[in-house]
Amino acid sequence: MKPVCLVIGAGAGIGGTVGKKFASEGYHAVLCRRSDEEGLQKLVDDIKADGGDATGYLLNAVDEGALEERIEKVEAEIGPIQVVLFNLGAQIGNRALGDTSYKMFELGWRMATFGLYRVAQTVIPKMEARGGGTILVTSATAAVRGNAGQHSHAAAMGGRRMLCQSLNAEFAPKNIHVAHILIDGAVDAPDTLGKMVGAENFAKLRETRGAEDGLLMPEHMAETYYHVAHQHRSSWTHELDLRSYSDLAWWNHK
């Protein structure tokens, strides 16, 4: 039975590409995303065409019990989850304080922080019983730097970061590795950045910044995710940030 890499937030950018990498290394990739069944099936088909194993599910992580039920079913029907990639975004867009309703503010927290907490509560006892496991958590610049219009996103991502630290403090001694991976830059991802800027502007970005390695490329990011998941515990990475060589680091911005 192959070990399972469960990807929550398996779009065409980071999530799907990391899933492909783990599948190419002998994992069964379980890919979950909220919508776009056609895109999800393409990811699964591409992995199988390359000789890997994959299964895809539509999953709305905000729905009560949805994350917990999927984890239980994967464990029962596919195999033990050795690695979780929590790649769920929580960006609700730039909104002034007065335009951010209670519901919208809470939505960011439900996706970014509470979702991770629910996953941890469900999967960590299973990993602990097996003697170890890894949770890779994709994060964002907002986890370390607030900005105008980012009340929900920054608060939610900051909470995600602190939750990762708290989980590590409790479970690293039990051989469970939680890595907070801060993405500090624009990612060449058609269903995130592409939707934010529009198809025409995205194509221009690829032709300019992308051609000069100025966009974060998911296939190269996936190498880092895989490496972190397989580090020796004497030198675990608990937090790192990824950015293009040409971008200023978050702490150098005004």
Asked whether the whole model's pTM tops 0.75, one would answer yes
pLDDT exceeding 90 applies to what percent of the chain? 81
Least confident of 88-102, 164-178, 235-249: 88-102
Res. 193: pLDDT tops 90:
no
Mean pLDDT of 217-237: 97
**Predicted pLDDT of residue 168:** 97
Res. 92: pLDDT tops 90:
no
Mean pLDDT of 50-62: 97
Query: At 191, is the pLDDT very low, low, confident or very high (cuts 50, 70, 90)?
Result: confident
**Predicted pLDDT of residue 22:** 98
Res. 210: pLDDT tops 90:
no
Least confident of 19-23, 191-195, 216-220: 191-195
DSSP sequence for 99-165: G--HHHHHHHHIIIIIHHHHHHHHHHHHHHHHT-EEEEEEEEGGGT---TT-HHHHHHHHHHHHHHH
Mean pLDDT of 67-96: 94
Res. 236: pLDDT tops 90:
yes
Domain residue ranges of the chain, discontinuous segments joined by +? 4-188+218-240
Domain 4-188+218-240 coded CATH 3.40.630.30:
no
**Predicted pLDDT of residue 99:** 92
Mean pLDDT of 191-208: 80
SS3 41: helix
Average pLDDT, the chain: 94
How far apart (Å, rounded) are the C-alpha atoms in residues 3 and 17? 18
Mean pLDDT of 178-201: 85
**Predicted pLDDT of residue 207:** 84
Radius of gyration of the chain from Cα atoms? 18
Query: At 231, is the pLDDT very low, low, confident or very high (cuts 50, 70, 90)?
Result: very high
pLDDT tens digit sequence for 107-140: 999 999 999 999 999 999 999 999 999 999 999 9
Mean pLDDT of 161-188: 96
Report whether 32 contacts 56 (CB < 8 A).
yes
How far apart (Å, rounded) are the C-alpha atoms in residues 13 and 36? 14
**Predicted pLDDT of residue 254:** 66
Q: Token match 């699964």: residue?
A: 44
